[in-house]
Structure 1
Amino acid sequence: MSEAVISPVRPARIGKLAIGALGILALALGTLQSVVEPALPLLQEELGVSAAEGALIGNTLLITGAVVAPVAGKLGDRYGGKRVLVGLMAVVSAGGLLAGIAPNLPVLLFGQILQGVMVGALPLSFILVRKNLPAGESQGAIGLVVALFTGGGIVGTLIAGPIAESLSWQWMFALPTFAIIAATLAVVRLMPHDPPIGSGHRIDWPGVLLLSGTLLAFMVGLVTVANGDLPPLGVGVLTLLVVALATGWVAVERRAAAPMVDLRMLAKPAMWHACVLTFVITTAFGMVTFLLPQMFSVSADGHGFGISTTDIGLYLLPGAVVGAVSDSVGGVAARRFGPRAVVVMGAVVTAATMLTLASVHSAAWQLALAKVLAAFAAGVGTTALLAGTATAVEARDTGIATSLLVVTRVIGVALGAQVAGAILAAGAGTGAGADQPSEAAFVTGFTVAGLVAATSLLLVRVTKKEVRA
C-alpha cells in the first residue's frame, strides 16, 4: 500500500496546558529514571545480590535507552509523535508497575528494561512541539521540557530514600509511575494528533535486535565472570557470542538502507575522535556514579559510613545539581576554548579527584565533593564534544552524529558501572563484613576510574597529531 503524501500545513497553536502536560511527563520520567542511584545499596541488600548484579539494575535501563534513542525520532516521524509517545509511555508504565511489585532481581530487571524506552520521550516531545508551535515558541517549550526532565533527576535523588525507608523500595518505582500515567492521559486529551511523514525506508529492526543482544550479553557476561559462576569454557563461549552478535550488528548496519546507527560516520576523524573520547569520559564517570553510593552504605564499623538511603540522596544531590548545570556550561566552554581544551580540563579534574580519593576517603564530604567534581567534568566534557561534533559535520549529518554520541555516552556509563560492580564483587568478603566490599576494592575502583579518565589526555594528544598530519 502506498503511503499518502502529506501536504504542508501551518502548525496548530497548542495551549500552555498541553506544554505543561509534556513538561510534567518529563518531570515524572526524570524522577523514575534517577531513583535507583541513591537506593542501589538498599536494593542489593533487600534482593540479596552482589555489587556486580546490582549494577545491572541501573544498566538495563541504560541499555534499552541506548537502543531506543536512535529509532524513537524515526518512529515518531513515520507514525506520528503523539501516537508513538503514548505507546512508549504505556511500556514505561508497565515497567514501573512491574518494578513496583517485583519480588526478586529478574522481575525488577525486566521492569527496568521496559522503563528504558523512556529515553525516546524527549525526541518525541520535540517532534510534537515543532509540529504544533511556530519556531520561536517551540524553542522555549523544548527548553522547558528538557529542564523539567533534568529537574526530575534531582527530585528522584531526593525522594528515593524517604519513600524506600517509610514505605518500601517498591513504592519509589510505583509513585513516579502513577504520575507518568496521569501525565500521559493529560497529553492524550490536550495534545492534537500530528500527521505522519511518509518514508521510503523501513525501520532497522535487525540492527535494533542485534545491538540489544550484544549489549545484554556483554553486561551479563561481566556479572557472571565477576561472580565466578562460569567455568573457563563458559567464559569462552560467552565471549564468542558477544563477538558474533557485534559482528552481525556491524554487518547489518553497513548494508541497511536506513541503518539504526550510520557507521559510515565513524570514518570521519572528527566523529570517531569524539566517540572514543566520549566513551572514555563516560566510562570513568559511570565507575564514579556506582562506587560512591556503595561506599556511603558500607558499615561505619569498617571503612564506610553506614548512612541511610535518604542521607545518600542528600550527599549525592549537589553532584546531581552540578551535573545538570554542566550540560549548559559545556556548550559555552566549547565555543570559547574549543572542545579539546574542555576535555583536557575535565580529564585532569576527574583523574586528580579519583586518584586523591583512593588515598583520602575518611569523611563523607570528601565523597560528596568528588561526585560534584566528577559530574561537572564529565558534563562539560561530553557536552563540549557533542557541540563540537555537531558543528564539525555537515548540517544534514547532525542528527546522525549526535545520536551516535548519545548512544556512546549511554554505553560508556553502563560499562563503567558494570566494571566498578565487578571490582567490588571481586573484593567482597575480605573487608569489615562477609557481604561487603573491602577497602582495597574501593581503592582499586577509584584508582582504575582515575586512570581511565587520564587516558583521555593521551587520546587528545594522539588525535591532535592525526589532525595536524
Structure 2
Amino acid sequence: MLALALGTLQSVLEPALPLLQRELRISPAEGALVANTLLVTGAVVAPVAGKLGDRYGGKRMLVRLTALVSAGGLLAGLAPNLPVLLLGQVLQGAMVGALPLSFVLARKHLAAGESQVAIGVVSALFTGGGMVGTSLAGPIAERLTWHGMFTLPTLAIIAATWAVTRLMPDDPPAPSQHGIDWPGVALLSGTLLAFMLGLVTVTNGLPPLAAGGLAVAVAALATGWVLVERRAAAPMVELRMLAHPALWRACLLTFVITTGSGMVLFLLPQLFAVPADGYGFGADTTDIGLLLLPGALAGAFSDSVGGIAARRFGPRAVVVVGGIVTAVTLIALAALHTAAWQLVLAKVLTAFAAGVATTALLAGAATAVEAGDTGIATSLLVVTRVIGVALGAQVAGAILDAGAEPATGLPGESAFVTGFATAGLVAALSPLIARLTRKGTPS
C-alpha cells in the first residue's frame, strides 16, 4: 500500500512537466532540474536510510521517513511559487529511501528465494504507483490546479503509513557494540550531494570554474570518506563489500541502463507536448498521462517478474536481452516517430526491458551479500538508479535546449532524433558490459 502511494506521488510530475514549464516559464533544461530535485535528495537519503534500517529496524525507519515525505508533499501542495515547490520536492526525495528499507524487511522476514520475488513485487507496486500518478496527474491538475497533484497522493501516503504502523510486524534491531559511523554518513552524504548538484547544474550552463570547483569538492569528500571508512570500527559501508563482484557489476550495469531510460522518460512527454502543427502531437497533461500509461503498466509488470527472472535465468542473461531490446527500439524510434502509437510502443518496450533488467540486478545483489548488509547494498543500487535517471534527464534536456529553434524556442525535430539515437547507443552498452564482465558475475 505504501509503495503504491509513494510511487503515485513520485510520478505525478512526469506528465505535468510541460504544463509546469509553461506556467512557470522555464526551459526544458530547467524543467529537468525541477524533476531532478527529488532525485538529488533521494541519492543522499537512500544509503543513510538503508544503513539505519539495517541497524535499527526497517519498519521503524520507514515510518519516520514517510513522515518527512508527507511534509514535503503537503508543502508542494500549498506552494505559492517555484522556490517553495522545490523545497517540497527536496523533502519528497526521502521516498527513495523507502525501497532499501522495504528490501530490509523482505530479507528479514523471508527466505532468500522468496525475498527475491518479494523485492520484485515491492518494486512493481512502487512502479504501479507511477501508473496511477501518470494517469491521474492531468485530470487532477485541470480540475484542482497542479497543487492538487501533490496533495491527494500525500494524503494516501499518510493513510498507508498509519496502516504500516498497525499491521506490519516489527523487525528487531541488529545488535552492535559500536555506534553509527556518523562521520562516514556525513562524508558520503556530502559526496553524493555535491555530485548530484554538479550533475543537475552542469548541463544548464554552469561556468567552467564552478564546475571545476564542484569536481574538486566531490573528489575531496570522496577521499575523506574512504579514509574514514578504512579506520572506522563499524563503517557505514564496508569497503570490502564494494569489491563484491555481484555488487559492483550490478551498480555499473544499473547505471548504464537507467541513464538510457532516464533520457526516454524526459524526451517522450516533451515530444507529445510539441504543437501538432509541426512534427509534434499537441497533447495536454491528461493526454500525455494516458499516452504514457501503457508504459507505466509495462514497467510495473516488468518489476514484478524481474526477481523471478533473476532466480530462473540469472541477472546477466536478463540484462543482455533487455539491453538489446532497448537499443533496437530506440534506434528505430529515432527514425520512426510520426505516429503516437510508435512512441507508446517504444515506451512499453523500453520500460519493460529496463524494469526487468534493473530489478533482476537488484534482487541478485540483495541475496549475494550478508543479510545484515541488505539495506546498504540495495541502497547503493537505488542511488545508482537515481544517478542514472538524473543524468539521462539532464542530458536529454541539454540536447533539446541545444536544438531549440530561435524563432519559437521549441526543440527542432532533429534534437529529438539525436536524443533517441543517443539513448539507444547508451542502452547498447549494457549487453556489451555484461559480456565483458561475465567472469565471476552471478548467472
1:66 counterpart residue number:
43
* Residue deviations 1:290-339 (CA, integer Å, cap 9, x gap): 11111111122232211011111111111111111112333333344433
2:137 counterpart residue number:
160
Q: Which of these residues, 423, 427, 438, is aligned with residue 464 of structure 1?
A: 438
Q: Report the Cα distance in structure 2 between the residues aligned to 1:220 and 1:368, rounded to whole angstroms.
A: 32
Q: Report the Cα distance in structure 1 between the residues aligned to 2:299 and 2:149, rounded to whole angstroms.
A: 22
* Residue deviations 1:268-308 (CA, integer Å, cap 9, x gap): 33332222111111111111111111111112223221101
| Kept in 2: contact 1:96–1:177 (CA 8 A) | yes
The one-letter code matched in structure 1 to 2:147 is: Q
**Superposed displacement of residue 462, structure 1:** 2.0
**Would you say 1:105 and 2:82 are equivalent positions?**
yes
The one-letter code matched in structure 2 to 1:63 is: V
1:446 counterpart residue number:
420
**Superposed displacement of residue 190, structure 1:** 6.1
Instruction: Please identify the structure whose Cα radius of gyration is greater.
Output: 1
Paired residue secondary structure (1:464): coil
2:225 counterpart residue number:
249
Paired residue secondary structure (2:438): helix
* Residue deviations 1:340-364 (CA, integer Å, cap 9, x gap): 2222211111111111111111111
**Would you say 1:434 and 2:408 are equivalent positions?**
yes
2:335 counterpart residue number:
359
Gap regions ≥5 residues in structure 1: 1-23
Higher relative contact order, structure no. (Cα contacts within 8 Å, ≥ 6 residues apart): 2
Q: Report the Cα distance in structure 1 between the residues aligned to 2:19 and 2:184, rounded to whole angstroms.
A: 36
Q: Report the Cα distance in structure 1 between the residues aligned to 2:357 and 2:222, rounded to whole angstroms.
A: 28
**Would you say 1:175 and 2:152 are equivalent positions?**
yes
2:10 counterpart residue number:
33
1:298 counterpart residue number:
274
**Superposed displacement of residue 65, structure 1:** 2.4
2:395 counterpart residue number:
419
1:84 counterpart residue number:
61
Please report the RMSD computed on the Cα atoms of aligned residues, expressed in angstroms. Answer: 3.4
Query: For residues 448 and 68 of structure 1, do their structure 2 counterparts lie closer, same or farther at Cα, with a shift above 3 Å needed?
Result: same
1:262 counterpart residue number:
238
Query: For residues 91 and 166 of structure 1, do their structure 2 counterparts lie closer, same or farther at Cα, with a shift above 3 Å needed?
Result: same
Q: Which of these residues, 7, 26, 33, is aligned with residue 56 of structure 1?
A: 33
Q: Report the Cα distance in structure 2 between the residues aligned to 1:128 and 1:65, rounded to whole angstroms.
A: 19
* Residue deviations 1:58-82 (CA, integer Å, cap 9, x gap): 3222232233333325434655555
| Kept in 2: contact 1:285–1:374 (CA 8 A) | yes
Greater Cα offset, 90-99 or 218-227: 218-227
Q: Report the Cα distance in structure 2 between the residues aligned to 1:244 and 1:62, rounded to whole angstroms.
A: 22
The 5 Å alignment of 1:375-414 reads: 375-390=351-366, 392-393=368-369, 400-414=376-390
1:240 counterpart residue number:
216
**Superposed displacement of residue 453, structure 1:** 1.0
Q: Report the Cα distance in structure 1 between the residues aligned to 2:370 and 2:293, rounded to whole angstroms.
A: 38
Matched residue pairs, number? Answer: 441
Residue identity over aligned pairs, in percent, reads 76
**Would you say 1:345 and 2:321 are equivalent positions?**
yes
**Superposed displacement of residue 167, structure 1:** 1.6
The one-letter code matched in structure 2 to 1:376 is: F
Q: Report the Cα distance in structure 2 between the residues aligned to 1:234 and 1:143, rounded to whole angstroms.
A: 41
Q: Report the Cα distance in structure 2 between the residues aligned to 1:355 and 1:60, rounded to whole angstroms.
A: 29
**Superposed displacement of residue 408, structure 1:** 1.7
Q: Report the Cα distance in structure 1 between the residues aligned to 2:222 and 2:208, rounded to whole angstroms.
A: 21
Greater Cα offset, 108-117 or 311-320: 108-117
**Would you say 1:151 and 2:147 are equivalent positions?**
no
**Would you say 1:274 and 2:266 are equivalent positions?**
no
Q: Report the Cα distance in structure 2 between the residues aligned to 1:463 and 1:127, rounded to whole angstroms.
A: 28
Q: Which of these residues, 366, 373, 386, is aligned with residue 349 of structure 2?
A: 373
Q: Report the Cα distance in structure 1 between the residues aligned to 2:83 and 2:332, rounded to whole angstroms.
A: 37
Paired residue secondary structure (1:240): helix
* Residue deviations 1:106-143 (CA, integer Å, cap 9, x gap): 322221121121233455567778999999x9999988
| Kept in 1: contact 2:127–2:296 (CA 8 A) | no
Query: For residues 236 and 194 of structure 1, do their structure 2 counterparts lie closer, same or farther at Cα, with a shift above 3 Å needed?
Result: closer
TM-score, normalised with respect to structure 1? 0.82
The one-letter code matched in structure 2 to 1:444 is: T
Paired residue secondary structure (2:80): coil
| Kept in 2: contact 1:262–1:400 (CA 8 A) | no
Query: For residues 269 and 178 of structure 1, do their structure 2 counterparts lie closer, same or farther at Cα, with a shift above 3 Å needed?
Result: closer
**Superposed displacement of residue 213, structure 1:** 3.5
The 5 Å alignment of 1:185-204 reads: 185-188=162-165, 196-204=173-181
Q: Report the Cα distance in structure 1 between the residues aligned to 2:244 and 2:109, rounded to whole angstroms.
A: 36
